Amino acid sequence: MSSAKAVTDASFESDVLKSDKTILVDFWAEWCGPCRAVSPILDQIAAEHADKIEIVKLNVDDNPQTAMQYQITSIPAMKVYRGGEVVKTVIGAKPKPALEADLAEFLA
């Protein structure tokens, strides 16, 4: 499926909030068609920009605590974290050029 690392309620703090890297968290669910559509695009961006941004996935059905904490009401939702803080939110599936434009400040 995806090459992105899966994070959970239990690992979120250590994998995302305490990371010294810029992390994009893809909040998704198995039943979500747009989530499945955006996943390979995120994999491409992760491969092309591995030195600048790390992309991880959090299944909102399996990890409701983190999804609730960050008020995830529609998916796919992508949040960029830096130093434990959300610095950018992107909602909805988009084609690769649009996602790269949204993330340009982190990919440059």
Round to whole Å and give the CA distance between 41 and 94: 9
What Cα–Cα distance (Å) separates residue 46 from each residue in 65, 88, 99?
26, 16, 12
The residue from 35, 42, 45, 55 that is catalytic is 35
Round to whole Å and give the CA distance between 59 and 80: 16
32 catalytic residue (yes or no): yes
24 catalytic residue (yes or no): no
Helix (H) or strand (E) holding 39: helix 33-48
CB contact at 8 A, 73 and 61: no
Q: Tokens representing 72?
A: 């995830």
The residue from 16, 24, 32, 90 that is catalytic is 32
Residues carrying an active site annotation: 32, 35
